[in-house]
Amino acid sequence: MAPPHSLRSRRLARAGQAVTQRTGDAQPHHTASLIDSMDLRVDIVRRGGCATCEARGLGCDEALPACNACRLAQLPCPGYAVHIQWPTELLDVTPTARPLPRPAAFSSFGLPSKEDGLVLHFMKNVARFALAIDYHGNGYRKFATLALHDPMILDAVLAVARSHLSRWHGTVDVESRFYLKKAIGQLQQRFRSPHLLKSETTVVAMLLLATYEVFNGSSKWKHHYHAIAGWTQAFSAAVDLDPFLKTWITLLDTQSGLNCGTALIPQVAAWTAPSPARPSTTSAIDPFLGCSVHLPHLMLQGAQLYQRVSADAVSSEELEQRIDSLQAQIRACEIVPSDRDPPFFAITCYNGVEAVTAMDEFTQHNYMNKAIATAEIFRHATHVYVHRIRGDAMQARDEIQQSVNAVFSWLAQVPDAVGPGANVGWALVVIGTELDDEERREYIRCRWKALQVLGIGNTEAAARLLEEVWSKRDVARLFNEPMPRWQDVMRSSGADQILI
């Protein structure tokens, strides 16, 4: 039978191992402080040799730090039993009624505290900033929850959250690319497995990676967009995609078409097209996009028409007919509050119209007015965009000036970048390119500064684009030269952007 002090030593060793396993790497300071608080008194106890020599039936010379028998046999020498004594001043201390608080090693999500904080930031802030109107059932939060069960989605969420948090706080980002590389590596493995490739989670990861690049103001989002286009064409018919994901893909496709002249996903036209399942109400506002649920389909048609004009694939007569038809349909998207047809929120790509409930703050009448104002800003910006498909960027038209004036009137009702005003970047570019008045230009600059507080980098790229357009516009007016479209200016600078 082992001596009592030997049993105590082994029990304390096992207890120390258990503490270390529970705390892990998340709280190394806790174990250290626990040990430092002990006044350990270690006494070497001679008891006939080390445990290895006893087990082998050998005589032990009890040399330190290792006996010669173990050293010659190249065996680890466990040394000798130790007495571990608590300081005498602690032996009579009465325990407190309630244990002192200890730092938790894990969160309620079951993640290390740092990663828990990033997931929480994604759900509380990124999910709110990345769309126009926060609502119950927000898809960003739903897929962040999915991340707790899918390492690939988790790494993509952590990359977006870490990158955004650094920009938001104005600190150097040294961690997000670590998570980004892990997510991309796991995504590449998915492409080697046909069963996993067609999973909905695969396209969620690609959308998150595209969001990472958009938030950083990088044009690398296009690589992910091309992959999403390929996935959608290959698998969307076989996968029952969530309406939120369809709307997310619609945002990328319409922005690529409007800004870059390349809309690559034909399924988007079907998702957004009018259908018998979708009532003809004009008062439904998409909380993700911030515009009428009927407007994305018309935006896409405008982008396709712009693409044909750029390729000289449409006659002047057909162009005028298409523009007139589009303008009439855009006018029909006007949000006019009434008791008979009150405004409400719905997802564009839902098969039908299912109202969603905005978060509590948006139930206030003032916030509904902001949502209506944002929808009207998008409608008037689309009017201007379609007018400018003709290519006469310097030619003034009464309809364009009316829409510009209307947008400035509506912007006054969305005074800040929180809520509906968070995603008006594309509209600011479209309307801003029409401005020659320095006072109005300065107002747009102030709006950019407000948006940049949100920590979303593509607004900075959009502001730089608009400054370059204004510079070229001033030169063109001075020398009576033709003014290139803002899309051409963006492409010539190599900075294709998602501007919303």
Asked if residue 373 is part of any domain, the answer here is: yes
Q: How many domains does the chain have?
A: 2
Asked if residue 471 is part of any domain, the answer here is: no
- Supply the DSSP symbol for 416: S
Do 215 and 292 share a domain, yes or no?
A: yes
Asked if residue 428 is part of any domain, the answer here is: no
Do 241 and 344 share a domain, yes or no?
A: yes
Asked if residue 406 is part of any domain, the answer here is: no
End-to-end CA distance of the chain: 76
Question: What is the reported pLDDT for 238?
Answer: 85
Report which of 473, 442, 444, 480 is spatially closest to residue 459, judged by C-alpha positions: 444
Distance CA 195, CA 183 (A): 18
Question: What is the reported pLDDT for 334?
Answer: 95
Distance CA 387, CA 324 (A): 9
Asked if residue 146 is part of any domain, the answer here is: yes
Question: What is the reported pLDDT for 340?
Answer: 80
Question: What is the reported pLDDT for 67?
Answer: 84
| Cα separations in angstroms, 411 against 84, 285, 287, 446 | 73, 17, 18, 12
Distance CA 446, CA 441 (A): 9
Q: Which domain holds residue 318?
A: 113-392
Report which of 118, 115, 135, 136 is spatially closest to residue 126, judged by C-alpha positions: 118
Do 80 and 119 share a domain, yes or no?
A: no
Question: What is the reported pLDDT for 186?
Answer: 96
Task: Express the helix, strand and coil content of the chain in percent, nearest 5 each.
Answer: 60, 5, 40
Asked if residue 336 is part of any domain, the answer here is: yes
Residue at a domain's end among 371, 392, 413:
392
Tally of CB atoms within 10 A around 391: 15
Residue at a domain's end among 359, 392, 425:
392
Distance CA 157, CA 184 (A): 12
Question: What is the reported pLDDT for 51?
Answer: 78
Which positions ≥6 away from 37 have C-beta within 8 Å?
none
Asked if residue 294 is part of any domain, the answer here is: yes
Question: What is the reported pLDDT for 138?
Answer: 93
Question: What is the reported pLDDT for 442?
Answer: 98
Do 71 and 118 share a domain, yes or no?
A: no
Do 78 and 141 share a domain, yes or no?
A: no
Three-state DSSP at 497 gives: coil
Do 77 and 124 share a domain, yes or no?
A: no
How do the pLDDT tens digits run along the chain, 500 residues long?
Answer: 444 444 444 444 444 444 344 334 433 333 333 333 333 333 333 445 787 888 788 888 877 768 888 888 878 777 654 433 444 444 444 444 444 444 444 456 778 989 999 999 999 999 999 999 999 899 999 988 889 899 999 999 999 999 999 999 999 999 999 999 999 999 999 999 988 999 999 999 999 999 999 999 999 999 999 999 999 999 988 889 999 999 999 999 999 999 998 999 999 999 999 877 665 667 899 999 999 999 999 999 999 999 999 899 999 999 999 999 999 999 999 998 887 878 899 999 987 667 888 886 545 667 888 999 999 999 999 999 999 998 776 676 889 999 999 999 999 999 777 788 888 999 999 999 999 999 999 999 999 999 999 999 899 999 999 999 999 999 998 998 888 889 989 988 877 888 87
Do 339 and 262 share a domain, yes or no?
A: yes
Question: What is the reported pLDDT for 48?
Answer: 57
β 355-356/344-346 pair status: antiparallel
